[in-house]
Structure 1
Amino acid sequence: MAAHPSQGRRERLTGSQALADRVPAGVITGYLFKVIREQIPRTQDELADELGVDKSTLQGWESGRRPLSSTRAGNLVAMRRKLIRLGAPSGLVEMLSTAMDADLLLAEILRVESMRGRLSQHPLAGWVLTRESTHMIGWAVSGVLPAVVAGHSTLPAARRGPVSSSPLLEQSIRRRFFEGLRVTSEAAEQAGEGAALLRRQVWYLSSYDRDWDAAAWFDGLRRRGAVTATVEGWSPGWVEARSVAAALARQGDPSLMRDFINCSIADHDEAEAANLNYWAHWLGLDGRPQTGDGFMAERDRPMWDAAALLRALALRLDRAVECTDLYIHSIWALIVSRRGLLESDPHTARELAERVSRLLDGSTLSIESRRELESVHYGLRISG
C-alpha cells in the first residue's frame, strides 16, 4: 500500500535535523543590521571601527552566524544608541528586537519534530504574533520585504557580484518550514478549541508559501470543513475564520474574506469590537503581550487609541491590495463606533480622503466595500 503523502513528509521532517541546524540563529536580525548599516551609510570596516568591534564580529552579525541576541544587553542598548547617533533610521533600529524574536521563533519552528500529543508546547501555541514579527518571519521564508523596512530604508547602490536582496533561506530549509506547518496543522485540526491559536497562526504563516500546491492545500482546509466563514459572535473559531480568510486573501482569493465580513463581522457588535481589538494588537497599538486570543472579546475601555488605529488603517488602505475589503470595513466600523473621530484628527482625515477617492475611482471593489467606502467618503465630506 502506498504511503499517505503526509506520512512521507513526517518521515522527512523527523529523519533529518541537519537542515534546521544549518539555519544561522540570527539570519533575520543580521540582514536587518546590514540594511541599517547601509542606510547610515558605512562600510563594514568603518562601522566595525566606530562600534569598537572586529570586522569579523560585524560580519558574523550580518551573516547570522554570530547572533546579535547573544550580545550582552547593556552593550546592545549602547550599540543601538550609537547607530542612531550615526544617522541610522530609528524605526529600523527599534525593529532589531522584533527581528531577534522572529529569529528565535523561526529556529524553534524548524526544530519542531512530531507535535502529536504535545501541541501546547509548539512555539505558535502560546504567543499571539503581531504584524511586524509575522512579516519578519515572512521575509526569511518568502523574501517579501516587510513594510516597516521598506518605509525606513532605500535601496543601496549597485554592487559587484551576487548580492542577496533579503534574508531568504535556502529552498530546502523553506520547504522544511512549510512542510512542518502542514504536519502541525493536521495534528491540530483534531485538537479542538484548545489548539485554535496554534491552528490559525500556522494557517496564516502558511500563506507565505508560493509553491504550486499551496492553494490546493488551503482549498482542502475549506472542503474538509476545517474553517467556515459563518461564525456568529466572537469565539476562538471566529478568530480562526478571520485568519484563514486573510491567508487565502494573501494567496489571491478574496472570496472567503468577503463572506466572513458579511456573515461574521457586519451587524454583530461583539464581532465588530473583536475585529478592532485584533487590529490594534496586530498593528502594535495595544502593547500588551498576549498569550491567547481572549483579549479580542474585551468590550469596555479598549486598551488602544482610536485615532492611532484610524491613522494606521488609513495609511495602508490603498496599499494592502489583498485585504482591501477588511481594511474598508474596519475603517467604516471604527468611524461609526467613535463619533467625532474624523474631526479630532484633520490630518488623518485629509490623507484618508485622498485614498478613499483613489479607490472609489477604480473598478475592483466589491458591492459591499464600495457601499461602505462611499459612506466613509460622505462622512469625510460632512466633517469638513
Structure 2
Amino acid sequence: MTGGRGNGDHAREGRISGYALKIIRESAGLTQERFAERMAVDITTIQGWESGRRPLMAISTGAYLSLRHALLRLGAQFRLLMQLDMALEADRFVGYVLSAKADNPSAVDHPLASWVITRPFTDLVAWPFTATVPSGLAGATRMTGRRGPVATAPSLLPDERAHFFTHLRAATENADADRVDGMLLRRQAHYVAGFDDGDDTPDWLATMQRAEERRTRRADQWTPSWAVLRSGAHSLARFGDREALQHFIRTRLAEEVCEIANLNYWAYWLGEVSEPQSADTFMVELDPHAWRGTELLRHLVGKLYSTNPYVDVVAHTLWALVMLRPSTLDPHTADDLRQAATRTLEEDTVSVQSQRELEAIIYALRMIHRG
C-alpha cells in the first residue's frame, strides 16, 4: 500500500475499536459464544467486530448504542465503554491516514489539525505500534478459555505502517507554520510519528527539533512553536535522549507564561480539563485555577521514579504545581510525594535542576506539615 485506500474509506477501519471490544467483553467474563447469544447475532459477527473485518464504525448508530447498552447490562464497566467510544475516534484517524496520500497530505481536513488530542486517544493510536495496552484499558482483561496463539494488540501490516509514518512525517514537515491549525498539525503529527520504531526515527526527531529551535528564537514567550518543542523533547526522551528534555526545561520553562502553559497542557492531557480544545493556544488562554490539580498531582507522583525517561519534566512539573497550588496536597498524597522525591534523590540519576526542585518540594512539604 503506497497510495492509501482512496479518500472516503475511513469507516473501513476497525482494528483498534475491535480489540478494545474484545478486552471489554473479556472483562465482563463473556465468551464470544455467550456474548453472541445475548446480542442475538451469529458468532461470526462478534468475531468480525473484534478482528476489525466488520468495523464497528460501519454499523448504524442504533446498533452501536444497543451494543454498548448490552455490554453495560452484562457487567462491563462504564469507564471501559468510554474507552470504546474513543477507540472509534482512533480508528477514524488511522483510517484517514491510511486513506490519504502518504507524501503529500492535505491539512484542510486533517484530524490532527482540528482538535488537541488527549492521552486516551494517543494511547489508543499508539497501541498497534507499541503493543502497550492503553492506560484506560490496562488491567481489564480476563482470560475466557482462549485456544491457540492470540494476538496481544491490534496491528497494521508492514506496508500500512510505512504509509502511516511516511504520511505523518510529511504532515509535520509541510504544515503551514503561519497558521494556528497548521502548527497544531505540525506538533501532533510530529509527536505521533515518534511512535515509529524505525532506526532513523531518533535522527528525524532530532532534525525536526533543531529546526523548531531555530524558528523559536525567544525563550521568554509562548508560541505554537514552543508547543512543538515541548512535544519533540518528550519524543526524544522516549528514545533515550534525556538531554533534549532537560534543555527544554532549562531554556523554555523559565518564564511564568510558559510554566502555566506546561501545567495547563498536563491538566488537559490527563482529563482534568474536560472540554475539548481546538487549538494549542488554550495553554496560555486557560485560567490555571479552572482545574483542580488533584488528579494531575497523583499522576505525577506515580511517575516520579528514576527509570522514567520523562522523570526530569515530572520533577519540574511537580515542583511548579506544589508551588502554585499547595492546596492540592492531601496528607496521603503528600506522604507518597515525599517518599518518591526522597527515593529519586537517593538514586542520583536526575539532572542538577531536578535535584534542586525535588529538594525544594521536600522542604515545602516539611513546612506545610509544620503549619
**TM-score normalised by L of structure 1:** 0.86
Counterpart of 2:178 in structure 1 is 192
CA distance in 2 between counterparts of 1:229 and 1:147 reads: 36
Counterpart of 1:9 in structure 2 is none
- 5+ residue gaps, structure 1, are 1-11
Relative distance call for 1:246 and 1:230 in structure 2 (3 A) is farther
Superposed CA deviations along residues 328-364 of structure 1, whole A, max 9, x for unmatched, are 111110110114332xx22322332333233223232
Relative distance call for 1:358 and 1:147 in structure 2 (3 A) is farther
Counterpart of 2:149 in structure 1 is 162
CA contact (8 A) 1:142 1:168 kept: no
Counterpart of 1:265 in structure 2 is 253
- Give the counterpart letter for 1:36 in structure 2: I
Relative distance call for 1:74 and 1:138 in structure 2 (3 A) is same
- Give the counterpart letter for 1:49 in structure 2: E
What SS class does the counterpart of residue 50 from structure 2 fall into?
A: helix
Is residue 198 of structure 2 the alignment partner of residue 181 of structure 1?
A: no
Counterpart of 1:7 in structure 2 is none
Greater shift, 316-325 or 43-52, is seen at 316-325
CA distance in 2 between counterparts of 1:95 and 1:275 reads: 26
Is residue 65 of structure 2 the alignment partner of residue 80 of structure 1?
A: no
CA contact (8 A) 2:11 2:57 kept: no
CA distance in 1 between counterparts of 2:286 and 2:307 reads: 27
CA distance in 1 between counterparts of 2:307 and 2:280 reads: 24
Offset at residue 81 of structure 1 (A): 3.9
CA contact (8 A) 2:173 2:186 kept: no
What SS class does the counterpart of residue 241 from structure 1 fall into?
A: helix
Offset at residue 18 of structure 1 (A): 7.8
- Give the counterpart letter for 1:277 in structure 2: N
CA RMSD between the two structures: 2.8
Relative distance call for 1:66 and 1:302 in structure 2 (3 A) is farther
Counterpart of 1:119 in structure 2 is 107
Relative distance call for 1:200 and 1:156 in structure 2 (3 A) is same
Offset at residue 154 of structure 1 (A): 4.2
CA contact (8 A) 2:104 2:170 kept: no
CA distance in 1 between counterparts of 2:183 and 2:322 reads: 30
Offset at residue 180 of structure 1 (A): 1.1
CA distance in 1 between counterparts of 2:131 and 2:89 reads: 18
Counterpart of 1:211 in structure 2 is 198
Counterpart of 1:241 in structure 2 is 229
CA contact (8 A) 2:90 2:125 kept: yes
CA distance in 1 between counterparts of 2:132 and 2:125 reads: 10
Residue of structure 2 aligned with 1:330, choices 317, 326, 331: 317
Counterpart of 1:276 in structure 2 is 263
What SS class does the counterpart of residue 281 from structure 2 fall into?
A: helix
Counterpart of 1:315 in structure 2 is 302
Greater shift, 299-308 or 234-243, is seen at 299-308
State the percentage of identical aligned residues: 38
Offset at residue 235 of structure 1 (A): 1.3
Is residue 40 of structure 2 the alignment partner of residue 52 of structure 1?
A: yes
Offset at residue 159 of structure 1 (A): 4.3
CA contact (8 A) 2:90 2:124 kept: yes
Relative distance call for 1:114 and 1:381 in structure 2 (3 A) is same
Offset at residue 291 of structure 1 (A): 1.3
Written as runs of structure 1 = structure 2, the 5 A alignment for 1:13-32 is 13-14=2-3, 17=5, 25-32=13-20
**TM-score normalised by L of structure 2:** 0.89
Relative distance call for 1:70 and 1:319 in structure 2 (3 A) is farther
Counterpart of 2:354 in structure 1 is 369
CA distance in 2 between counterparts of 1:23 and 1:73 reads: 13
Offset at residue 74 of structure 1 (A): 4.5
Superposed CA deviations along residues 246-273 of structure 1, whole A, max 9, x for unmatched, are 111112211111111111113x111111
- 5+ residue gaps, structure 2, are none
Greater shift, 44-53 or 26-35, is seen at 44-53
Is residue 120 of structure 2 the alignment partner of residue 132 of structure 1?
A: yes
Relative distance call for 1:105 and 1:225 in structure 2 (3 A) is closer
CA contact (8 A) 2:24 2:141 kept: no
Is residue 363 of structure 2 the alignment partner of residue 378 of structure 1?
A: yes
Relative distance call for 1:370 and 1:156 in structure 2 (3 A) is farther
Counterpart of 1:147 in structure 2 is 135
